[in-house]
Amino acid sequence: MNKISLVGAGPGDPDLITLRGLKTIQSADVLLYDALVHPALIAEAPSHALKIFVGKRAAKHFATQEEINDKLIDFVRIGHVVRLKGGDPFVFGRGFEELIHAEKLGIPVEIIPGLSSATAVSAWNGLPVTLRNISRSFHVVTAVGKNGNLSKDFLEATDLQGTVVVLMGLGKLDEIVQKYLEINRANLGIAVIQNGTLCHQKAVYGTINEIREKVSKAGIATPAIIYIGEVVNAYLEHSKTVENATEKSVVSGIFQA
C-alpha cells in the first residue's frame, strides 16, 4: 500500500516500542529514521526496504525538515514509507508538520504513538512526575527559544507548581540553575538522565545548588532529560530510606551469621 506511517520508537530501549509500531516497521518498503532510534528497530525492517538516516542532533542535521517532508512524498511512490521517530512523533517530534505536508497531497497517513521519553525515562528510573500531596501536574518544555535564549515556556513553568520536564536542555543547564537560584529555589530537587532506558544510561540526582558539579563529575552529555521539582526531593528521601534499610539488614545478617 502506498501510504506513510509515522511511528514512535519510544524512549530508547527497543523493547519499549508498541507492538503495532514493531509490526509497522516490519512491513516497510522505505524506513526514514532519526538519530535516537535504536539499531535493533532499524534491523526489523525487511531486507528489501530502503533504510535512510535523516537524524537531527543539536546543530548537526543530516536533513532539514523540508527535505524530510519531500523524501516522504518522493518515496511513497515505492510503497509503504515508515517515518520512525524517537519517543512519540507528536511530542517535539514535528510529526504534525509531516502529517499536514502529506495530507495536502492526498497521501494517506497512519499515526502510531510511542512512549514519550518525557515520562517514560523517569518512570523507568522510579521517579514520578506527579505525586499525591506533592505534585499535581507536570510541564514538558524545551529549554531553548527561537532567539537562542531560555524559552519563554520554561521561564513561565518555573513559577508553576508541579514538575518541570526539560527536553533538549543540557546545554542550558547553567542558565536553568541560575534562574532557580534567582527565585530562591536552591534546595529544589533536580535530576539529569542521559540515554534513559538504555544499558549505558547515566543519571544524577541532587538539588539545584549542587547539580552542575554532579553532572560534570558524572560526565553527563546529550541526549539528556532534566526533571525539576519536589518529586525529586521525595525520590531522594525514599532512596535514603531504602539505603538505610539495606545497610541495617546487611549488618543484622553479619551479626546473625
Report how far residue 196's alpha carbon sits from residue 123's, in angstroms, rounded to the nearest whole number: 10
What are the residue numbers of the active site? 34, 56, 168
Q: Candidates 3.40.50.300, 2.40.160.100, 3.40.1010.10, 1.10.287.610; correct CATH number of 3-115?
A: 3.40.1010.10
Residue 4 cell numbers, joined: 506513510
Percent of the chain with pLDDT over 70: 93
Report how far residue 22's alpha carbon sits from residue 14's, in angstroms, rounded to the nearest whole number: 9
Phi, psi of 72 (to 5 degrees): -55, -45
- β-pairing, 3-8 vs 80-85, is parallel
Residues 95-115 have a mean pLDDT of: 96
pTM of the shown model: 0.91
Report how far residue 22's alpha carbon sits from residue 84's, in angstroms, rounded to the nearest whole number: 10
Report how far residue 134's alpha carbon sits from residue 161's, in angstroms, rounded to the nearest whole number: 9
| pLDDT tens per residue, range 152-209 | 999 999 999 899 999 999 999 999 999 999 999 999 999 999 999 999 999 999 999 9
Asked if CATH classification 3.30.70.890 holds for the domain at 118-240, the reply, yes or no, is no
| pLDDT tens per residue, range 50-96 | 999 998 765 565 789 999 999 999 999 999 999 999 999 999 999 99
Residues 37-58 have a mean pLDDT of: 92
Q: Which are the contacts of 57, defined by CB distance < 8 A and separation ≥ 6?
A: 35, 222, 223
Is-same-fold flag (3-115; 118-240)? Answer: no
Chain centre distance of CA 57: 13
Q: Which H or E run includes 67?
A: helix 65-75
- Helix, strand or coil, per DSSP, at residue 97: helix
Distances (CA, A) of 150 to 18, 58, 102, 168: 34, 15, 33, 11
Phi, psi of 6 (to 5 degrees): -95, 115
Report how far residue 227's alpha carbon sits from residue 244's, in angstroms, rounded to the nearest whole number: 25
Residue 153 cell numbers, joined: 515556556
Residue 68 cell numbers, joined: 524530510
Report how far residue 135's alpha carbon sits from residue 229's, in angstroms, rounded to the nearest whole number: 8
Angle between helices 95-104 and 65-75 (to 10 degrees): 50
Domain ranges of the chain: 3-115, 118-240
Q: Which are the contacts of 228, defined by CB distance < 8 A and separation ≥ 6?
A: 163, 164, 165, 166, 176, 180, 188, 189, 190, 191, 208
Does residue 256 register a pLDDT over 60?
no
